Structure 1
Amino acid sequence: RYQQKYAEALPEMDAAVRIARSQLPAANPIIAGVLIRYGDLLRRMQRYDEAEQVFAEGVAKLQGSSSGEYAQMLQVYGTLASARGAYALASERFRKSMDVFRKATGDSTFTWLTALLLIDSLGQDGQLEEADTLAKEASRAFAGMGQPDSYESGYLSGTVGYLRWRQRRFEDSIAPFRHSLKVQIQTYGEQHPEVARMRAALARSLLAIGDADSRMEAASLIEQALPVIEKADAGTADTGVALLVRAELRLDAGEAMGAQRDIDAALPSLQGKGLDRERERRMAANLSQRIKRMPAIR
């Protein structure tokens, strides 16, 4: 799963669930721990209905517990709601997960990593003021944890970068995205899909700034990112975002036909819910309007 080789991971997880069910009492928390990872894998494979069943079973097993397992189950259940565009429900689950993590572990890394998921779901739901307040609290909390280039610091930076982009504070998103990209490269290596997604996010913000140097850097970033994203996430919103960035760059270079092809290829993956999808569809529409106004293709 860490390598995002989900099809290879699935039979191993199936076997783990079967073994746990056959060897342990139904109420044993180890079963719930296995279900957390199984449901998360199904969610990553976009098998959402199956993931829903797994998480619902896990929550029922742990209902009312103050354990870390229950907090983690609620956390991954929230990520499923986010994947389905149910951001208010995701926020509700993340808040509850934070409460349980606090009871189980105090103001720990687990509690504040869940806060980052909550910031993201609030941002997607357009609750930008609340997300900003929580981001400040999370930044203060993480300041006393770990090293400057730790995984947690990179995750925080990426979350803040996306929040600043949603707030249309594009210049303020650049430094967080750069730091997150640095940490992700250290963690995953140059060719990992997470690294490619962060390159695309940084490129999008650089494009919004608009100066020549920023656009040149954006072009380099998207050239590195797009092949990796298309291989790992063809047809997903991540591919759509990268294609829109390339479309704008092509349009700037006068390549109207190539830009329109990228827009057409991006649109099917940008039909979900949330602030990001709305902004991306608007970006695609604006680019198409620019193309229609170009004399060469009238």
Structure 2
Amino acid sequence: MAPTDSVLSEYLRQQKPKKEEEGEEPSWKDRPLHGMYHRQIEEVADIQKSYQWLDKAGLKDSTEALIMAAQEQALSTRSIEVGVYHTRQDPRCRLCKDAPETIQHITAGCKMLAGRGYMERHNQVAGIVYRNICAEYGLEVPRLKWETPPRVVENDRAKILWDFQIQTDKMVVANQPDIVVVDKQKKTAVVIDVAVPNDSNIRKKEHEKLEKYQGLREELERMWRVKVTVVPVVIGALGAVTPKLDEWLQQIPGTTSEISVQKSAVLGTAKILRRTLKLPGLW
């Protein structure tokens, strides 16, 4: 009735609190649980690109909802059951029994998932890069995405090594990167290593990969007489990417898009969450 009743309209106007009395509504980013993910990645990730999978990956609604729920700490882990729901006393992980069962622990920190779950996710991401390299050089591309690539493939243009332990004259501790591409015509080589860590660690992991393979780079340049580049491909378990990811991917032969590796990592994490937490949905 207010629009047609001048007295009522004036009364409501006077009763409305002034802005200085209202105070600002706290942002969701400031909430202890729901804003935790954003606070963890805002200093290390490209925020816009970290969420591009929602728009470009074409995932099912249920998968998008699962990953967003994981980001907002809205899944019923044992840590949440202890601290929020108060329905449990022991917050330890149901698999390793060591650390508190948080989303971060399940997606990238449980030793019981390292051998299978994390490795499957890692190989799916690395496999996308590998297939694009094969296509670029006219080499046979694995037919199935689950198929393990051969250790060595080559033609007159290039040689590609997959998870191959490289023998060097000088002892190098890190001598088994995920992929090595040798371009025979350009006399160049690219050492590629993939990682899917917790989202807050993506920039740290990127730096670690670069440092890790400097010794191998120097040995390969001396032995093979080629120019060697080390390229880290790091995507957070819940989709976060560093501002330099696209720059790194452009240094790899072939065309590998940010969204393709990001989508693969997110799907791998969704599979891990469903298996571990016994959630409904396709694996």
Higher helix share: 1
- Decide which structure has the larger Cα Rg and report it: 2
Higher strand share: 2
TM-score (norm 2): 0.26
TM-score (norm 1): 0.25
* Relative contact order higher in (CA < 8 Å, ≥ 6 apart): 2
